[in-house]
A and B are shown apart, each in its own frame.
Chain A
Amino acid sequence: MLVRRVRTWLPGLLLVAPSIVAIGVFVYGMLGWNFRLAMTDKHDEVSEGRFVGLENFIGLWDQPRWHLSVNHAIMFTVVFVLGALVLGWLLAFLMEKGIRGEATFRAVYLFPMAISFVATGIVWRWLMNSGMEERAVGLNRLFDAIGLPQWQWFRDPDWGMAAMAIPAIWQMSGYVMALFLAGFRGVPEELREAARVDGCTEWGVYRHVVLPLLRPVTLSALIILGHISLKVFDLIVAVSGKQIITDVPAVFMWVAVFDSHDPAKGATIASYIVLSVAIFVVPYLIWSVRKERRS
């Protein structure tokens, strides 16, 4: 009896055990180690580091650079998430309405996702060059040629981070389109028909039938984009390098660890990044677990 029971669960356990151990050590173990480090005063590589509680977490808010990088991250997140959602939805909507050569367009729109953020960044660094008039290259040259005003792009002190979100939108909106398209196609034709029979206009069908059914898709898209956005690093570094004008927490963390040689400060920033992502993801996880239980 026992042998049989062992036979049923042991192979499965053996199969997943390596991943469980690896995740336990390299994800949760390291997270714990990072939080512990953030609560010490190990401000250079050689000192021991005594426990100081939340001192680093509070002290960070005294630094002008931290405020700047948090503001940048918020602006980037708002523009990127909204931009990718709206554009992705719009593309999916057009596909849904039926266009010729849909498969080709789908591939074209989805294609940027296959490119790494670093490659995207290197191309957009050139496209968003801040040169003006005859010195312009990239998009500014194009704008000059067709008489549009030229921009400083990501070097603009106020709106630079909004420009920085453009390559990210370019990269991710195709993916959002794919999500929404799957959502649209998942709405049964009978439901739409039923609504039309009840006297709904075409707009009303979307308003009252399709969009409510897309809510879970929107939510997952929001989570995926949100967590990418809050920890963004590679795109920023590829476009502008480690410059204050485009500082975000992840870049600040790199500088704290590798330039300032301050492990505790780096760990503190890393902790804040993890916490900010958790604020996005944890409610979603709770919600989806509850929903599964209910159904």
Chain B
Amino acid sequence: MRRRMRSHWTAAAAVVMAGVLSLSACGGGGGQAAQPTQGGGDAKKQVEVFSWWTGPGEADGLQAMRKIFEERNPSYTFFDAAVAGGSGDKAKALLQSKLQADTPPDTFQGHAGAELQGYIKAGDLEELNFLYDELKLKDAFPAQLVDQISVQGKIYSVPVNIHRSNVLWFNPAVLKEAGVAGAPKTLEEFVAALEKVKAKGKVPLSIGSEWTVTHLMESVLLGSLGTDAYNALFKPGADWNSPQVTKALEQFKTIMSYAGDPQDDWQPAAKQVADGEAAFNVMGDWAYGYFHNPPEGGLGKKSKTDFDWAPAPGTEGTYLWLSDSFTLPKGAKNRDGAVAWLKVAASKEGQDAFNPKKGSIPARKDAEHSLYTDYLADALKDWSSNKLAGSIQHGVAVNQPWLASINEAVGLFIGTKDVAGLQKALADAAQANAQ
């Protein structure tokens, strides 16, 4: 009898356990999906804004834009879906799984230009020409920018800022010590200056992880080929096998031979310049914030004395640009809210609130100039007068698969130092991906 009882008891327990397990499995799935709740009736509707702005400066800029958004749209609340991590590596991986599961955020950050091609091809993005017409954005942004982000006449994103990629950062004291008069204007002068610094026993050129080498390569390509030939490299049928490209890559190899020990990322590489261990570093203008900001997020250095800047050698008069932008994914839960966000992101007020904090300049031509001082004043001046070329590493000139192939080629080149192999890999990548 007792045995009977016990087996009853275990049977019942097993059934209950199984039930609990299957229940909790369902419950876990439903509860974990942190989706904005559907606001029914008079509840405020959430707008899920997906970005990778979590660092100092960039997150402050996002907050400033959020404030304007919430003032203008009392019926919406802002849901910050930011995912931490450098150039958006982790954010992009998560975004991809969200898009594939057809649960896109209401709007997401992406680099304007070819980086968005994959999303466009997959039919994930709605075109925004209606918004450009409504807000007369084609007049507000430079014509060449609108041209470079259009895909067959259609525009899929609203650029909120502009960064410059071809900036040569240098330490004036180290240059003086090595007897270099000023920032080198051409690649030949650059190599001569690197040689002089090397003779003094300092690191001539600091570099970070492998992507910073691709970043350097795009500036060398632009400096060697000139703006028009550089831009032509990204048109269908471009000739990456030309002797001009060979020469540019040879120069790149020479410059790389002066590079110091690779650092973990761009910040430690930039810090070497700030600390006077290295003379030069080629990095985007986000480095300005790092050099200049007070010690909580930056190095607290004085501009023009502790560090200085110039266009990367041979690229004066050209703005090698990249831009953070927002998109309108198809099938977003709250399309109206997303459009309201895009309107703020496109507005003069929104861009002027965001950019001084993020350390970038607005994409609009009519920005409030007094807000942008020091480096940013320089950048704003150049932006309105320079020719434009799109960055490779930061998603303007090439799409993501193409960039992955270029990064692979550069990564292998760092090991092999084989220019012919690099050129062949670059040509193959262009062949496979140009469209």
Q: Which residues of A contact B (CB under 8 A)?
A: 7-8, 10-12, 14-15, 17-18, 22, 44-46, 64-65, 68, 125, 129-132, 135, 152, 155, 157, 240-245, 247, 254-256, 258-262
B405 at the interface (CB under 8 A from A): yes
Q: Which residues of chain B come closer than 8 Å to A255, judged between CB atoms?
A: 404, 408
Q: Are A262 and B18 in contact (CB under 8 A)?
A: no
Q: Are A64 and B412 in contact (CB under 8 A)?
A: yes
Q: Are A12 and B261 in contact (CB under 8 A)?
A: no
- Closest chain-B Cβ to A116's Cβ sits at a distance in Å of 16
Say yes or no: A46-B262 contact (C-beta < 8 A), given A255-B404, A259-B404, A260-B405: no
Say yes or no: A65-B11 contact (C-beta < 8 A), given A152-B261, A244-B415, A259-B400: no
Partner of B401 from the list A65, A131, A242, A259 (CB cut-off 8 Å) is A259
Which 10 residue pairs spanning A and B have beta carbons closest together?
Answer: A244-B411, A11-B14, A259-B404, A260-B404, A11-B11, A258-B93, A130-B261, A14-B18, A15-B14, A243-B210
B177 at the interface (CB under 8 A from A): no
Q: Which residues of chain B come closer than 8 Å to A155, judged between CB atoms?
A: 261-262
Q: Which residues of chain A come closer than 8 Å to B244, judged between CB atoms?
A: none
Say yes or no: A245-B411 contact (C-beta < 8 A), given A15-B14, A260-B404: yes
- Closest chain-B Cβ to A7's Cβ sits at a distance in Å of 6
B96 at the interface (CB under 8 A from A): yes
Bound complex: CA of A77 vs CA of B89, how far in Å?
27
Q: Are A46 and B277 in contact (CB under 8 A)?
A: no
Bound complex: CA of A208 vs CA of B277, how far in Å?
59
Q: Which residues of chain A come closer than 8 Å to B11, judged between CB atoms?
A: 7, 10-11
Bound complex: CA of A15 vs CA of B11, how far in Å?
9
Stretch among B70-78, B115-123, B248-256 lining the A interface: B115-123
Bound complex: CA of A212 vs CA of B18, how far in Å?
44
Instruction: Give 14 A-B contacts (CB < 8 Å), ordered by A residue.
Output: A11-B13, A11-B14, A14-B15, A14-B18, A15-B14, A18-B18, A44-B401, A46-B121, A64-B412, A65-B408, A125-B264, A131-B263, A155-B262, A247-B411
By beta carbon, the residue of chain A nearest B411 is A244
By beta carbon, the residue of chain B nearest A256 is B404
CB neighbors of A among B251-273 (8 A): 261-265, 272
B403 at the interface (CB under 8 A from A): yes
By beta carbon, the residue of chain A nearest B121 is A46
Bound complex: CA of A241 vs CA of B212, how far in Å?
13
Say yes or no: A130-B14 contact (C-beta < 8 A), given A46-B123, A244-B210, A259-B403: no
- Closest chain-B Cβ to A13's Cβ sits at a distance in Å of 9
Q: Are A18 and B262 in contact (CB under 8 A)?
A: no
B181 at the interface (CB under 8 A from A): no
Q: Which residues of chain B come closer than 8 Å to A247, judged between CB atoms?
A: 411
- Closest chain-B Cβ to A255's Cβ sits at a distance in Å of 6
By beta carbon, the residue of chain B nearest A18 is B21
Q: Are A131 and B414 in contact (CB under 8 A)?
A: no
Q: Are A45 and B118 in contact (CB under 8 A)?
A: yes
Q: Are B264 and A129 in contact (CB under 8 A)?
A: yes
Besides A241-B265, A245-B411, 15 other A-B contacts (C-beta < 8 A): A14-B17, A15-B18, A18-B18, A18-B21, A18-B22, A64-B412, A65-B412, A155-B262, A244-B412, A244-B415, A247-B411, A256-B404, A259-B404, A261-B96, A261-B118
- Closest chain-B Cβ to A137's Cβ sits at a distance in Å of 9
Q: Are B210 and A258 in contact (CB under 8 A)?
A: no
B25 at the interface (CB under 8 A from A): yes
Q: Which residues of chain A come closer than 8 Å to B14, judged between CB atoms?
A: 11-12, 14-15
Bound complex: CA of A12 vs CA of B17, how far in Å?
11
The count of chain B contact residues (Cβ–Cβ below 8 Å) is: 41
Bound complex: CA of A18 vs CA of B25, how far in Å?
10
Chain B interface, >50% SS class: helix
Q: Are A258 and B277 in contact (CB under 8 A)?
A: no
B7 at the interface (CB under 8 A from A): yes
Q: Which residues of chain A come closer than 8 Å to B405, judged between CB atoms?
A: 260
CB neighbors of A among B23-41 (8 A): 25
Contact string against A for B residues 388-411, beta-carbon threshold 8 Å, 1 for contact and 0 otherwise: 000000000000110111011001
- Closest chain-A Cβ to B331's Cβ sits at a distance in Å of 15
Q: Are A135 and B277 in contact (CB under 8 A)?
A: yes
Bound complex: CA of A244 vs CA of B404, how far in Å?
11
Q: Are A135 and B412 in contact (CB under 8 A)?
A: no
Q: Which residues of chain A come closer than 8 Å to B415, judged between CB atoms?
A: 68, 157, 244-245
Bound complex: CA of A22 vs CA of B21, how far in Å?
11
Q: Are B401 and A260 in contact (CB under 8 A)?
A: yes
Q: Which residues of chain B come closer than 8 Å to A240, judged between CB atoms?
A: 209
Bound complex: CA of A20 vs CA of B407, how far in Å?
43
B292 at the interface (CB under 8 A from A): no
Contact string against A for B residues 189-230, beta-carbon threshold 8 Å, 1 for contact and 0 otherwise: 000000000000001000001100000000000000000000
Bound complex: CA of A254 vs CA of B96, how far in Å?
13
Q: Which residues of chain A come closer than 8 Å to B185, judged between CB atoms?
A: none
Say yes or no: A11-B408 contact (C-beta < 8 A), given A45-B122, A244-B415, A259-B403: no
Say yes or no: A46-B122 contact (C-beta < 8 A), given A243-B411, A255-B404, A261-B401: yes
By beta carbon, the residue of chain B nearest A252 is B408
Q: Which residues of chain A come closer than 8 Å to B301, judged between CB atoms?
A: none
CB neighbors of A among B106-125 (8 A): 118, 121-123
Contact string against A for B residues 110-147, beta-carbon threshold 8 Å, 1 for contact and 0 otherwise: 00000000100111000000000000000000000000
- Closest chain-A Cβ to B402's Cβ sits at a distance in Å of 9
Bound complex: CA of A244 vs CA of B264, how far in Å?
14
Bound complex: CA of A260 vs CA of B261, how far in Å?
28
B370 at the interface (CB under 8 A from A): no
Bound complex: CA of A11 vs CA of B11, how far in Å?
5
- Closest chain-B Cβ to A32's Cβ sits at a distance in Å of 19
Q: Which residues of chain B come closer than 8 Å to A135, judged between CB atoms?
A: 203, 261, 272, 277
Bound complex: CA of A41 vs CA of B99, how far in Å?
21
B100 at the interface (CB under 8 A from A): yes
Q: Are B400 and A244 in contact (CB under 8 A)?
A: no
B92 at the interface (CB under 8 A from A): yes
Q: Which residues of chain A come closer than 8 Å to B123, judged between CB atoms?
A: 46
- Closest chain-B Cβ to A28's Cβ sits at a distance in Å of 18
Bound complex: CA of A17 vs CA of B15, how far in Å?
11
Bound complex: CA of A17 vs CA of B203, how far in Å?
64
Q: Are B261 and A131 in contact (CB under 8 A)?
A: yes
B10 at the interface (CB under 8 A from A): yes
